Chain A
Amino acid sequence: MGDDTTDPRPARDGTDTPTSGAPVDREAPAERTDAASDEGERCDACPGNDNGSAVTPSIYRPFWADARAELKRRDYAKLLATVGGLTAVGSIAAPVAGLTRVFDQKYRGPVYEEGIPLVDEAGERIVEDRIAPGEQLTVFPEPRPGIEDAPTVLVRFEESAYSDQVRDEYTVGGYAAFSKVCTHAGCMVADRDGDVLVCPCHSGRFDPVTGAQVVGGPPPRSLPQLPITFSGDGHLVAMGDFQGSVGPGGE
C-alpha cells in the first residue's frame, strides 16, 4: 500500500476517489502479480484499470503511456486559452510598433560642405578681424539645413596656443570651429570658463586648444571640429563637414 501514498500523479478527479477505499486494499495483492509483468503497458488512464496501486515509477516506461503526460479536457481548455490569449495580446500589441513611425524626418545630410561660408546669427560672413584672440562667437553655415546640428562655436586663440592634437589645416588665423552641440545630452555648449568651453546643462568641459577634448564632466567624446580656411575674398569658409558625428550618440 505504500505505493499508493507515494504515487506522484496529481490528485484524481472525484470519480476516481471512491475506489481508493476498502475494496482496493482487498484487491491489491492479486493485482500486484499481474502488474509486474506488463507494467509498461498498463493503461493508467482507463478508469477500470486505475487504482494506481501497482504502478512503480520507472524511467523506462514509455512516456506516451504515462498517465501524467495525458491531456485531459481541462488541459485542452488551458492550452487553447493560452494560445488564444497570447494571440489576442499579440494582435493588440503589434500595432504599437506602428507608433515608432516618424514622419518628421531629421535632416541627415552634411551640415557644412567645402566652400560654405560661416555666418553669424544675423547672417553676416566672418572676416578675419571679427573677433580677438580669447573671444568666441556662435556661427552657422550660410544655408542652414538641419538647424539643430548647425550651431558652431568659433573660437580664436594665438596660433601658438593650439597643441599638437589640433591638426594645423583645421585652423586658420588662430580660428578654430567646433560643433556647439554637446556630445552628452545635446545641449548647446554656450558657457565658458577661462579658455575652456563649458556646457551649461551638466558641466561638461571641452578644451578648444586641444581640439575640444573632454577635460571634465560626463561627455563621452570631444566636440567634432570643423575644418575652416579663408576664402579668396577674406571670409571664413568650411573645408568640409564636421570631423565626427554631431551631438549625443554616435562615435
Chain B
Amino acid sequence: MSRIDSAYDWLDSRLDLDGGSDFLGKAFPAEDSFLLGEVALFCFGILVATGTFLAFFYEPSTAAVEYSGSVVRYQGEQLPAAFKSVLNITYDVPFGMFLRRMHHWAAHLFVASIALHMLRVFFTGAYRNPREPNWLVGTGLAGLAMFAAYTGYSLPYDEFASTAVGIGYNVAASIPIVGDPLASIVFGGQFPTSATIPRLFFLHVFLIPAAIVGLLAVHMGILIRQKHTEAQRDDDVVPPDAGSGAAGPPAGTPTPSDGAGAADGGLPLIDRDDDSIVIGLPAFPNQAAVSAVVFFLTMAVLSLLAGLLPVHNIAAYGPNDPASTPSLVMPDWFLMWGYGFLKLTPSWMSFDVLGIHISSEFVGGLFLPSLVFVAVAIWPFIDRAEEPEHFTQNYLDRPFPTATGIVGITLVMVASIAGMDVIVAEILGTSTAVLRPYLTAAIVLVPATAGTLTYAILGGFGEGGDEPPSSEAGDPRGSSGTGSPSQMEGSDDD
C-alpha cells in the first residue's frame, strides 16, 4: 500500500470520503456556454487573492500625508493617504502594478461573465421551474458584484473615484425618507468626510465579499441539489424515426405539434425526452479537467490584460480636487446604463408627493435601475413553467421571452450610450444638449422597435402556439441517473 493510499484510508476512516464519492459522478452537460458561471467563480477567486495582496498595502484614510515615492510629479506633495498608498502599490511594491491591474481587470471580467451567464440562462429559459430560486440568488450576486465594483472604484480616492463617490452619496441621500440615515451609515456622513473611505473599504473587503461567498454557496448548493439543465438532445440516442423535428438547433422551424410522444422503445438507450437523467461529463475527472482549463484560460486572459493594458492610471488622474470635476468623468461600463438614466432624467422629475421630496437623481440613479433589477428578479414568475423543466429551450422557439430579453439588452445599451453622451457628442461634433432629445427618444423607441421586430421575426404574431417544445411531461421514471457518468453526445447528424 502506497503512502498516498494509506493517507487516503486515514482520512476516509474519519471523514467517510467514499460515502461522498457520489458527487464525483455529478454530470456536467458539455455545453461551452455553461462555463460562463465558472469563469465568474474563478474571477472571484482571483479577486480575493489579488485583493488580499493589495489590502496589505492599502491605507483606508483620506488624511493628508507627504508623498515620497517614485512618482516625481507628486514628490513632497501632501496627498490623501489612500491615494498615496495606491501610488506606492503601483510604482514601488514589486509586482504591485501588475496585481492591481489584474484585480481591476478581474473585477471587469467578473461582472462581464456574470452578465453573460445571466443572458445565457435567460435566453435558454433555464430560470424556469424549478430554478427560480437560483435565478433570484444569481440576481442578488449580480447586484453585489456591481456594488463591490463601485466600492472598489472609490478606494484610490483619485479625482475620478471621489467624483464617483460623491455622485453615489448624493444618489443614496436622495432616497425619500431613509436616504439621509442610509447615506450616513454607508458614507459616514455628508461626503466628503474622513469616515467615507474607511467604511467603503470595510464594505469592499469584508461585508460584500462575505455576502458574495454566502450567496455563491447557496447558488452552488441549489445547483447541485437541482442538477444541471441540459440542452435539447439531438436525436442520436433514439431510433432515427422517432424524432419529430421540433427544435433541432440548426433547423429552427417552430412546429407547434411536438408532443411528448417521442417513441421510447425498449432500447437501453436514453430517450431524448427523458428528463430524469442528465447527460454530461462526470465532475471528476472530466469536468475537473475542463474547469482547470477554464481557470487557466481565465488567468491567462487576465494576466495578458493586466500586463499589456494599463487601466485606471491614478497618477495621471491626480488626487481628489474638491474644486473641480474632470470633463470626461464616467463610471465603469457596467454602471454606465445607470449613469445614462441619471443623465436622461429630466428635471421635472423632481417633485413633491405628500410632503416627500422625490428628486430626479433618485428617479434616474436608483428608481429606474432598481426597476430593471426588479424586472429581472421577478421574470421567472412571469414566464412560468407549470411542470419542472429539465431541458433548456431554444430561444428561437420563445418569441415573447426572447423579445423581452432583446428589449432589456437594447435598453441597457442605449442607456449606456446616453451615459457616454460626452464622447458621442465629441465624435459627432455636436453638444450633449443637442443629443439629448434624440437619446431620450432612442431609449424608448429602440428597445420597443427591437423587441417588436424580434417578436415578429420569431413568429410571435403569426402562430397562436406558445413555446412548442415545453412539453416534457414530468413522468416520474424510477431511474436516478445523474450519478452515472454518461457519454458525451457526439451528434453530427443533419
Residues of B within 8 A of A196 (CB): 433
In the complex, per-residue mask of B335-371: 1 if CB is within 8 Å of any chain A CB, else 0 = 0000100111111011000000001110011000000
Instruction: Looking at the assembled complex, report how far the CB atom of B480 sits from the nearest CB atom of chain A, in whole angstroms.
Output: 35
Residues of A within 8 A of B192 (CB): 148
* Interface pair A214/B167, CB less than 8 Å apart: no
**Counting CB contacts under 8 A, is B327 at the interface?**
yes
In the complex formed, the residue of A with least CB distance to B340 is: A202
Residues of A within 8 A of B324 (CB): 138, 151, 188, 190
Q: Say which residue of A104, A216, A219, A248 sits within 8 Å of B433 (CB atoms).
A: A216
* Interface pair B329/A100, CB less than 8 Å apart: no
**Counting CB contacts under 8 A, is B174 at the interface?**
yes
A85-124 CB contacts (< 8 Å) to partner B: 96, 99-106, 121
* Interface pair A102/B342, CB less than 8 Å apart: no
Residues of A within 8 A of B195 (CB): 102-104
Q: Say which residue of B326, B359, B436 sits within 8 Å of A216 (CB atoms).
A: B436
* Interface pair A249/B345, CB less than 8 Å apart: no
* Interface pair A102/B347, CB less than 8 Å apart: no
Contact-size category for B: 35 or more
**Counting CB contacts under 8 A, is B13 at the interface?**
no
Q: Tell me the complex Cα distance, A200–B326, Å.
A: 7
B112-165 CB contacts (< 8 Å) to partner A: 163
**Counting CB contacts under 8 A, is B255 at the interface?**
no
Instruction: Looking at the assembled complex, report how far the CB atom of B332 sits from the nearest CB atom of chain A, in whole angstroms.
Output: 15
**Counting CB contacts under 8 A, is B188 at the interface?**
yes
* Interface pair B365/A185, CB less than 8 Å apart: yes
Q: Tell me the complex Cα distance, A106–B167, Å.
A: 17
* Residue from the set B181, B189, B191 with the largest chain A CB neighbour count within 10 Å: B189
Residues of A within 8 A of B167 (CB): 185-187, 201
* Interface pair A248/B325, CB less than 8 Å apart: no
In the complex, per-residue mask of A38-77: 1 if CB is within 8 Å of any chain B CB, else 0 = 0000000000000000000000000000000000000000
Once A106-B189, A185-B170, A220-B360 are accepted as A-B contacts, the answer to whether A201 and B323 lie under 8 Å apart by CB is: no
* Interface pair B189/A121, CB less than 8 Å apart: no
In the complex formed, the residue of B with least CB distance to A148 is: B322
* Interface pair B193/A200, CB less than 8 Å apart: no
Q: Tell me the complex Cα distance, A19–B163, Å.
A: 77
Q: Say which residue of B163, B347, B365, B432 sits within 8 Å of A219 (CB atoms).
A: B347
**Counting CB contacts under 8 A, is A184 at the interface?**
yes
In the complex, per-residue mask of A208-251: 1 if CB is within 8 Å of any chain B CB, else 0 = 00000011111111000000000000000000000000011100
* Residue from the set B170, B192, B322, B323 with the largest chain A CB neighbour count within 10 Å: B323
Once A185-B171, A203-B343, A217-B436 are accepted as A-B contacts, the answer to whether A106 and B325 lie under 8 Å apart by CB is: no
Instruction: Looking at the assembled complex, report how far the CB atom of B353 sits from the nearest CB atom of chain A, in whole angstroms.
Output: 14
Residues of A within 8 A of B350 (CB): 220-221
Once A185-B171, A201-B329, A218-B343 are accepted as A-B contacts, the answer to whether A103 and B361 lie under 8 Å apart by CB is: no
* Interface pair A151/B323, CB less than 8 Å apart: yes
In the complex formed, the residue of B with least CB distance to A99 is: B185
**Counting CB contacts under 8 A, is B173 at the interface?**
yes
In the complex formed, the residue of A with least CB distance to B342 is: A202
* Interface pair B193/A201, CB less than 8 Å apart: no
Residues of B within 8 A of A214 (CB): 347
* Interface pair B166/A103, CB less than 8 Å apart: no
* Interface pair A218/B190, CB less than 8 Å apart: no
Instruction: Looking at the assembled complex, report how far the CB atom of A217 sits from the nearest CB atom of chain B, in whole angstroms.
Output: 7
* Interface pair B327/A191, CB less than 8 Å apart: yes
* Interface pair B170/A147, CB less than 8 Å apart: no
Residues of A within 8 A of B169 (CB): 186
Instruction: Looking at the assembled complex, report how far the CB atom of A122 sits from the nearest CB atom of chain B, in whole angstroms.
Output: 12
Q: Say which residue of B173, B193, B322, B342 sits within 8 Å of A218 (CB atoms).
A: B342
**Counting CB contacts under 8 A, is B328 at the interface?**
yes
Q: Tell me the complex Cα distance, A101–B180, Å.
A: 11
* Interface pair A140/B347, CB less than 8 Å apart: no
Interface size (A, Cβ < 8 Å)?
A: 45
Q: Say which residue of B191, B327, B329, B359 sits within 8 Å of A220 (CB atoms).
A: B359
Residues of B within 8 A of A156 (CB): none
**Counting CB contacts under 8 A, is B421 at the interface?**
yes
* Interface pair B432/A187, CB less than 8 Å apart: no
B381-414 CB contacts (< 8 Å) to partner A: none
* Interface pair A104/B188, CB less than 8 Å apart: yes
Q: Tell me the complex Cα distance, A12–B192, Å.
A: 64
**Counting CB contacts under 8 A, is A180 at the interface?**
yes
**Counting CB contacts under 8 A, is A199 at the interface?**
yes
In the complex formed, the residue of A with least CB distance to B349 is: A218
Residues of B within 8 A of A106 (CB): 189-190, 193
Instruction: Looking at the assembled complex, report how far the CB atom of B342 sits from the nearest CB atom of chain A, in whole angstroms.
Output: 5
Q: Tell me the complex Cα distance, A150–B191, Å.
A: 14
Instruction: Looking at the assembled complex, report how far the CB atom of B473 sits from the nearest CB atom of chain A, in whole angstroms.
Output: 35
**Counting CB contacts under 8 A, is B431 at the interface?**
yes
Residues of B within 8 A of A215 (CB): 433
B285-344 CB contacts (< 8 Å) to partner A: 322-329, 339, 342-344
**Counting CB contacts under 8 A, is A205 at the interface?**
yes
* Interface pair B431/A193, CB less than 8 Å apart: yes
* Residue from the set B325, B349, B431 with the largest chain A CB neighbour count within 10 Å: B325
Q: Tell me the complex Cα distance, A193–B327, Å.
A: 12
**Counting CB contacts under 8 A, is A154 at the interface?**
no
Residues of A within 8 A of B433 (CB): 193, 196, 198, 203, 205, 215-217
Residues of B within 8 A of A101 (CB): 184
* Interface pair B323/A102, CB less than 8 Å apart: no
Residues of B within 8 A of A180 (CB): 323
**Counting CB contacts under 8 A, is B486 at the interface?**
no
In the complex formed, the residue of A with least CB distance to B345 is: A218
Instruction: Looking at the assembled complex, report how far the CB atom of B107 sits from the nearest CB atom of chain A, in whole angstroms.
Output: 22
Q: Tell me the complex Cα distance, A101–B322, Å.
A: 24
Residues of B within 8 A of A151 (CB): 322-324
In the complex formed, the residue of A with least CB distance to B435 is: A203
Residues of A within 8 A of B329 (CB): 187, 200-201
**Counting CB contacts under 8 A, is B232 at the interface?**
no
* Residue from the set A101, A151, A218, A247 with the largest chain B CB neighbour count within 10 Å: A218
* Residue from the set A151, A189, A193, A249 with the largest chain B CB neighbour count within 10 Å: A249
On B, residues with C-beta under 8 Å from A are 163, 166-167, 169-171, 173-174, 181, 184-185, 188-195, 322-329, 339, 342-347, 349-350, 359-361, 364-365, 421-422, 431-433, 436
Known: A190-B327, A199-B325, A200-B422. 8 other contacts (CB 8 A): A99-B184, A121-B323, A138-B323, A184-B361, A185-B171, A189-B325, A190-B324, A218-B344
The 4 closest A-B pairs by CB, nearest first: A102-B189, A220-B350, A104-B193, A188-B325
On A, residues with C-beta under 8 Å from B are 96, 99-106, 121, 138, 140, 147-148, 150-151, 180, 184-191, 193, 196, 198-203, 205, 214-221, 247-249
